[in-house]
Structure 1
């Protein structure tokens, strides 16, 4: 083989790209934080209530 030929780079296609917070520089693991590139503490938009699911219930008899 030709000794001047560049070696093939092996890149793991399943590896996750590392994302850091724009404000504090910490590495992010939460999917929403990774999309926004802001950690939960640095993000100005509140994150409470996203997973909340209220259900109308019948009253308990006798109360």
Structure 2
């Protein structure tokens, strides 16, 4: 008599991605980078430091 092994119920079915939740607000993350970090864009404490500096070439003020 052969026994068939039941599939594990804890494993994720192939083709589906695991749900990842934000560490701050507990919302589900959909953005790839946010999923890797574990933080949503609004909650990420390092988000502001990762933005490139926005520098604008500007004419000097007259009289200075």
The residue correspondences of 1:1-63 to structure 2 (distance < 5 A) are 1=1, 6-9=5-8, 11-44=12-45, 45-46=47-48, 48-49=51-52
TM-score norm. by structure 2 comes to 0.56
TM-score norm. by structure 1 comes to 0.57
For structure 2, the 5+ residue unaligned runs are: 53-64
Task: Give the number of the structure whose residues are more often helix, by fraction.
Answer: 2
How many residues get paired? 48
For structure 1, the 5+ residue unaligned runs are: 50-63
> Over the residues paired in the alignment, what is the CA RMSD in angstroms?
2.6
- Offset at 1:9? 3.7
- Consecutive aligned runs of 4 or more in structure 1 exceeding 6 Å deviation: none
